[in-house]
Amino acid sequence: MNKIRKIVAFAAAVVLSLLVFVCFAEETPENEIRFLDIPWRTTAKEVKAIIAERLTQDEPTGGFELSVWGQANYKGAENTVQDVPMYKLKYSTDGFYQVDEFHVKSLELEFVPGGSDGIYTDKGTDAYQLTLARYTYDRDEANDYLAVYGALEQRLRSMYGEPVADLDDALYDPFFTSITKGFVWEGENGTMVKLLYSKTSSSNFPDGFEDVYVTYAYGDKWFFQEKASLKLVSENATFLDVGQK
């Protein structure tokens, strides 16, 4: 009987481990990289409902802004697009969110309008479409930021293989130091995941500031150029609400 219980417990643990692994980020059969296996361009209303169910019922902060798209700028400085209409949200807490075995300080999301007939408004952002999700990780009792970074690197390598680019950089002068470590993995359909560790310190703050990020993103340059070319219109009965079809 004890042997049977041990087998059942082991099987349950395996299933739970697999579920946690899938929730971290899933590579679809088409090799598209996704955040929480949510299809890219899912509406903001739907994504917020998923976050409330899977991660937290905290209300996010944020809103509409014109922003610069540059998630693929590791390919060159020309891989940016100016004045992209975005709806940006941030979930944060005084403690942390538990994502797998990691502590997450905040989750940021970016959405762009679907547009209709080349127009959009900056009102009614429920129908904006998901294009980016970024975890900001925290250290814990057993691991400092570099240890968290190392564990995340191993996890991402096991899921996506060898990265396509590294992001290591450093700047030193007598008064300021900036260190960056990171990698990028690419998937199909213009998808990617980016791991980044950063530390800055100065003569006034010798202990510095550290952060670890994992960013999931969708879209190539042309996609965001199309969004930047949408025309902002005033909201009235003549026009459809933002992103609606």
Residue-wise pLDDT tens digits, 106-145: 999 999 998 777 898 888 899 999 999 999 999 988 899 9
pLDDT score at 16: 34
Residue identified by tokens 């075995």 is 101
- Distance separating alpha carbons of residues 245 and 241, to the nearest angstrom: 9
Joined tokens for residue 109:
């999301």
pLDDT for residue 15 is more than 80: no
Overall average pLDDT of the 34-39 stretch: 95
Q: Burial letters for 168-183: b for 16+ Cβ neighbours within 10 Å, e otherwise?
A: eeeeeeeeebebebbb
Q: What is the pTM of this model?
A: 0.82
**If DSSP codes are grouped into helix, strand and coil, which group holds residue 127?**
helix
Phi and psi at residue 53, in whole multiples of 5°?
-80, -40
5's CB contacts (< 8 A; 6+ apart) are none
Which sign does the torsion angle of CA 233, 42, 132, 48 carry? positive
pLDDT at residue 126, as a whole number: 92
Confidence of residue 13 (pLDDT cuts 50, 70, 90): very low
Rounded to whole angstroms, the Cα distance separating 89 from 85 reads 13
C-beta atoms surrounding 29 within 10 Å: 6
SS3 82: strand
- Residue 26 vs residue 229, higher pLDDT: 229
Secondary structure class of 75 (helix, strand, coil): helix
Name residue 69's amino acid. W
